[in-house]
Amino acid sequence: MDYADGGKVKLGDKVTFGGGLEGTIICCFDTKEYLPDFEYESFTDVCKSGVMIETPRGGLVHYSYPDYDLILLNRADSES
């Protein structure tokens, strides 16, 4: 999955979406990549593509396709 600007979504990316929610990308269903604590098999029946975002206020949020509202705040492999 890519962001609206064309950049690749990566595990651990900090993002904003949905009018100010912030969270962390914890699973990419398209590539079957996920962080160790994520229970991937629990979601494969309903989440066939896209990403799962863990948020402090909203719990888990699934985005099934790229949306202009999903904006990268901080790259997972970035020091800053």
Instruction: Indicate whether 80 pLDDT > 50.
Output: no
> Can you give the pLDDT at residue 79?
47
For the chain, helix, strand, coil in percent to 5 are 5, 40, 60
Q: Report the pLDDT averaged over residues 55-69.
A: 86
Of the pLDDT bands very low, low, confident and very high (cuts 50, 70, 90), residue 14 is: very high
For residues 62 and 80, which has the higher predicted lDDT (pLDDT)? Answer: 62
CA contacts within 13 A on the Cβ side of 34 = 20
Summarised one tens digit per residue, pLDDT across range 69-79 is 899 999 987 54
pTM (2 decimals)?
0.88
